[in-house]
């Protein structure tokens, strides 16, 4: 649930300066530090009293993970996410999930390429089925059909090899963080 309500308190200039320094030491904004302190207070009171709100809050917090990145790593994250046409947070989430589950996700463009290949193979399969039907019916195949059959076989082998190469490059790109451009 998105935070939309505000809690405010008036403090002395000294308290404000001390709080600011504490937030700086923890590399947080004042608001983030205050929110963290409120969350911890609610959790500690909830744990002591068996509060249902505290357990629901803990469950919601498990859905998000906040990390700090160095500036240069943030730039790399944005660049690599943009290369895969993903938001940086989505890309980071996919990377973590892929690493934890030993997966190699397929980005949209690569998935579309595979779907086009599958459609081509289906079309070729229908043609081969027609040729097999004629051959099994005792009909003699003219030379041109045999040549077309050989051409379709070569296309199927090329599609198979390209699909294997695509999957291999995809897996390697998730390990490296980006696809290597062949020149």
Q: What is the pLDDT of residue 101?
A: 78
Query: Is residue 128 located within the same domain as residue 154?
Result: yes
Indicate the number of domains in the chain: 3
Q: What is the pLDDT of residue 109?
A: 73
Could you tell me the two tokens for 140? 């003699």
Q: What is the pLDDT of residue 9?
A: 87
Query: Is residue 38 located within the same domain as residue 54?
Result: yes
DSSP state of 178: S
pLDDT beyond 80 at 173 = no
Closest CA to 131 of 148, 118, 119: 148
Query: Is residue 116 located within the same domain as residue 151?
Result: yes
43, exposed or middle or buried, with CB in 10 Å at 0-12, 13-18, 19+?
A: middle
Instruction: Assess contact for 181 and 112: CB atoms under 8 A.
Output: no
Query: Is residue 49 located within the same domain as residue 75?
Result: no
| pTM > 0.85: yes or no | no
Mean pLDDT along residues 178-183: 54
Query: Is residue 84 located within the same domain as residue 27?
Result: no
Query: Is residue 166 located within the same domain as residue 120?
Result: yes
Domain C-terminal end among 45, 75, 103: 103
* pLDDT single digits (tens) 45-82: 765 555 555 555 555 545 677 888 999 999 999 988 88
In a domain, 5, yes or no: no
Query: Is residue 120 located within the same domain as residue 169?
Result: yes
Mean pLDDT along residues 131-136: 75
Query: Is residue 58 located within the same domain as residue 32?
Result: yes
In the chain, the DSSP E strands lie at none
Average pLDDT, the chain: 78
Backbone angles phi, psi at 45, to 5 degrees: -70, -40
Query: Is residue 159 located within the same domain as residue 109?
Result: yes
Gap between the Cα atoms of 81 and 104, Å rounded: 15
- Domain of residue 96 covers 67-103
């Amino acid at each position: 649930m998105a935070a939309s309500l505000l809690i405010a308190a008036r403090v002395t200039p000294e308290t404000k300066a001390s709080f600011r320094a504490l937030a700086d030491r923890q590399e947080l904004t004042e608001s983030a530090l205050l929110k963290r302190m409120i969350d911890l207070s609610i959790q500690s009171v909830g744990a002591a009293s068996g509060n249902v709100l505290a357990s629901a809050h803990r469950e919601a917090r498990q859905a998000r993970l906040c990390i700090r990145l160095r500036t240069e790593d943030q730039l790399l994250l944005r660049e690599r996410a943009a290369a895969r046409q993903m938001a940086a947070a989505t890309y980071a989430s996919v990377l973590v999930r892929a690493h934890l589950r030993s997966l190699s996700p397929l980005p949209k463009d690569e998935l579309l390429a595979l779907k086009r290949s599958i459609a081509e193979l289906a079309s070729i399969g229908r043609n081969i089925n027609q040729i097999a039907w004629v051959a099994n019916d005792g009909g003699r195949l003219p030379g041109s059909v045999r040549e077309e059959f050989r051409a379709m076989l070569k296309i199927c082998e090329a599609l198979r090899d390209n699909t294997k190469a695509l999957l291999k490059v995809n897996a390697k790109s998730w390990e490296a963080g980006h696809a290597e451009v062949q020149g």
